Amino acid sequence: MNQTQREFRSIDDEFRPKVLRYLTRLVGEREAEDLTQIVMLKVSVGLPNFRGDSSLGTWIYRIATNTAMDRLRGPHEDQIETQVEEDGSLPVGAEAPSAESEAIRGEMNACIHEFIERLPESYRTAMVLSELEGFKNAEIAAILGVSVDTVKIRLHRAREKLRLDLQSGCSFHRDTGNELACDRVPAVVAPPPLRSR
C-alpha cells in the first residue's frame, strides 16, 4: 500500500460516516449510501491533486454537496425519501423516555423535517450545513462556492421561512406529560363559489 492509499484509508475512516449522515439529511437514507460511495470515490481520485486551498473537510463536503445537488436535480428526485436522524444515547442515570413521548418526539421531528424539506434547495443546504452539521458561515461559503454574505442571507431567509411555515402549519402545545407536541393545522380549503340564481 503506497502513501496515497494509506492517506485515503485514513480519510475514508474519518469522513465516510460524516458524509453519510450529511447526505442522509439532504437526500434521504435510500439515496445516501450510493451517493456516499460516489463521493468517496471522487475524493480518492482527486486526492493527489488536492492543493490545500481549503481544509480537507471543506473540500470533501463541497464534493458531497455538489454530488447531492446533481442527484436532486436529476431524474431520481421523485424517489427521495425523508429520514430524520436521532441520537439514541442517554446520559448516565437518565430514564428511557416512555413510548408515548418517543412517538410524540418522532412525530415532531418528522413534521419539522418535512418543513425543512420544503425549503428551496439553496436554503435547505445552508440550513443543514449550519444547524445540523455545525459548520461556520465561512466554511459553508467555501463548501457552496458563494460569499459569506450570501450564506448569511440564505440562513436568515431559511430560518424566517421555516418559522413562518411552522407557525402556519403546526399548532404547538404541551401534552399531559408537559412534553412539547404539535398537531398539524389542516389546510384551509376555500368554499366553492356561490351560484347566482
> Residue 90 domain-assigned?
no
Phi, psi of 120 (to 5 degrees): -55, 150
Domain ranges, residue 111: 99-184
Give the pLDDT confidence of 23-54 residue by residue, as tens digits.
Answer: 988 888 888 999 999 999 999 988 888 888 88
In a domain, 80, yes or no: no
Q: Quote the CA–CA distance of 144 and 126 in Å, as a whole number.
A: 8
Q: Are residues 115 and 179 in the same domain?
A: yes
Instruction: Specify whether 112 is located in the same domain as 66.
Output: no
**163 is a domain residue:** yes
Last residue of a domain, one of 74, 108, 133: 74
**Do 15 and 62 reside in the same domain of the chain?**
yes
**How are beta strands 180-184 and 170-174 bridged, if at all?**
antiparallel
| CATH number for position 17 | 1.10.1740.10
Domain membership flag for residue 19: yes
116 lies in the same domain as 51: no
| Same domain (yes/no): 104, 172 | yes
Identify whether residues 110 and 63 lie together within a single domain: no
In the predicted model, is pLDDT for residue 182 greater than 90? Answer: no
Which grid cell sits at 65?
Answer: 454537496
pTM over 0.85: no
For residues 63 and 123, membership in a common domain is answered with no
- pLDDT tens per residue across span 59-101: 999 999 999 988 877 654 333 333 333 333 333 333 444 565 5
Are 6 and 67 within one domain? yes
Rounded to the nearest integer, the mean pLDDT of the chain is 77
The reply to whether 133 falls in a domain is yes
> How many structural domains are present in the chain?
2
Sign of the CA dihedral with 22 first, then 26, 28, and 30 last? negative
Query: What is the rounded average pLDDT of the residues 112-139?
Result: 87
Q: Do 68 and 119 belong to one domain?
A: no
Number of Cβ atoms within 10 Å of the Cβ of 168: 12
User: Which pLDDT does position 89 carry in this prediction?
Assistant: 38
Q: What is the pLDDT of residue 155?
A: 94
Is the separation of the CB atoms in 161 and 123 below 8 Å? yes
Same domain, 66 and 3: yes
